[in-house]
Structure formats: C-alpha cells, structure tokens
Structure 1
Amino acid sequence: MARVYATPSQYQEFTGDPPPTDIDVRLWRASMFLDSQVFRLCRYDVDEAGLPTNTLVREAFAAATCAQVEWGVAVGDITGAAGVGWGTVKIGTAELGRSVTATTGDEAPGRQVAPAVWDALRSPDLTPDILWIGAVMTC
C-alpha cells in the first residue's frame, strides 16, 4: 500500500489556497512519485508503515509532497500525459506543433520533481543524522 505523506489541510496551509476537489488522489500520486524519484534515494528512520519517525523529516516530506501537488496544479499536468501525443494541431488559423518523439511523458512537466521539493528537503534543520539525501544502501 502506498504511503501518503501529506493531508489536505497541510496542502491548504502550505499553499494558502483551498485544495482541489481531487486533493486526496493528487497527494497519493505525488507521494508515490516522490517515493520513486526522491525518497527511495534517502536514508531516514521509518515506522512499521514506512513513514518517517522523525518529526522534522515527516514535516519536510509533507511540505515536499504539497510542493509537488502545487507544481502539478500550476503546470496543469499530474500524470505526464501532456508530454505525449500530438505533433501538429490546427484550429482555425492557429497552428501548434511539437515533436512526437516523446512517447512516455517522462519529460512532461507533470513528471518533473518540483523545484520547491528540494527547498523542503534542504532545510538546515535536516541534518545528516536524521535525513541523508542520496544515500542508497542495503542492510
């Protein structure tokens, strides 16, 4: 079962805006995305559910998750689908074109780690004894 690192109220506090109607799904997706792209590459203590035990790390993960959701709202894409598909579209006299070499959507804005995620995880309070970014190790 996927971990969810933030709540709708944390999102509202983080952004100052009311959450989107699908905020639970967005928080879940952002948590899964950050697990696969960022958090799995970090060392931190966890509880039985796999959630950070340290309060500062929990708060940083919540802020990072909210930042990722906010990014998805801002770019209008949470799945990466915006990076796939059409080559040329013409509506009346307006014509838009882009390369169709992107087939996975991995380069779409919705599949990028939001810059504010790194702001949340680089707090000087997050010392290496409680969060080590980029530490991949096995026990």
Structure 2
Amino acid sequence: MARRVYATVEQLTEWTGKPVPPDAARLLTRASEDVDDALLTAVYDVDDAGMPTDPDVAQALADAACAQVAYREETGDTGTGAAGRWSSVSIGPVSMSGPQPSAGGTGAGNVDLSPQAYRALARAGLLPGVIR
C-alpha cells in the first residue's frame, strides 16, 4: 500500500510562509504518518487510494501535516522521535532523566502531535474518533 501524504510542498510553503527545507517531501511524509497515527479511530470517506474525498477533511489533514512539519522544525525533531526524548541528560557519570512530557497533544496513536495539528483535526471532527 502506498503511503498517503496529505500535503504538498506548495501547501507547506503557503502554510508556513517560509522557504521549505530541502527534504520537505520526506518531512511531509513523516508528518502524514503522524496524522495517520492520531486518526486511528477516525471515520471519514476515502477514495481508492485512501485519500479523503470531503474537501474539508482533506484541508484539515493538509493543515495538520503542515503544522506537524513546522512543529518538528521548531523542536529540532526529524520525525524519528529522538529529539526531546529526555528532560535532562548528563555525560559523566552518565545520568538521564526522562521522558520529557509531550509538548503537543497526543492522538489515538500516542503520537507527539503538534498543538496546531491537533486543533486542525479536532475542528474537522476527526478527534477523538468521531463516528458519523
């Protein structure tokens, strides 16, 4: 099954108002995966490719993906989950405190979803998993 990517590089440029990073397509793919994880219990109509058919839902998913990329850029996370993992770290002798509380909302998949992405999905009625 092909990966669903909910926003284009052009939409990201418009959403952020800034030049996009060179790896914007990859970042949008990872952000779309985060959105998918947050929507594990959401129900909405999709086409054969799994993309939303309702323009309002499609826009909400695009906004959420763009917000997630911007959030990851601000926090320095590449989408691997490694950034911001610990609240305190020392090198010698090794000491770690953790895990750092999530800065964003968490969706159904317990993903570190940006507050703006969470709000975009909630406004569209996709969180928490609305059944229509």
TM-score, normalised with respect to structure 2 = 0.77
Number of the residue aligned with 1:19 = 20
Letter in 2 for 1:88: S
Query: Larger C-alpha radius of gyration, 1 or 2?
Result: 1
Instruction: From the superposition, tell whether residues 88 and 12 of structure 1 become closer, same or farther in structure 2 (CA, over 3 Å).
Output: same
Give the Cα separation in 1 of the matches to 2:91 and 2:4.
Answer: 39
Give the Cα separation in 1 of the matches to 2:58 and 2:31.
Answer: 15
Cα deviation, residue 79, structure 1: 1.5
Spell out structure 1 runs of 4+ moving beyond 3 A.
Answer: 107-111
How many pairs does the alignment contain? Answer: 120
Aligned alpha-carbon RMSD (Å): 2.8
Number of the residue aligned with 1:68 = 68
Is 1:53 equivalent to 2:53 in the alignment? Answer: yes
Cα deviation, residue 9, structure 1: 0.4
TM-score, normalised with respect to structure 1 = 0.73
- Identify which of 131, 135, 139 aligns with 2:129: 135
Identify unmatched segments of 5+ residues in structure 1.
91-96
Give the Cα separation in 1 of the matches to 2:91 and 2:102.
Answer: 18
Give the Cα separation in 2 of the matches to 1:7 and 1:47.
Answer: 18
Letter in 2 for 1:120: A
- Identify which of 88, 91, 99 aligns with 1:89: 91
Is 1:114 equivalent to 2:108 in the alignment? Answer: no
Cα deviation, residue 132, structure 1: 4.3
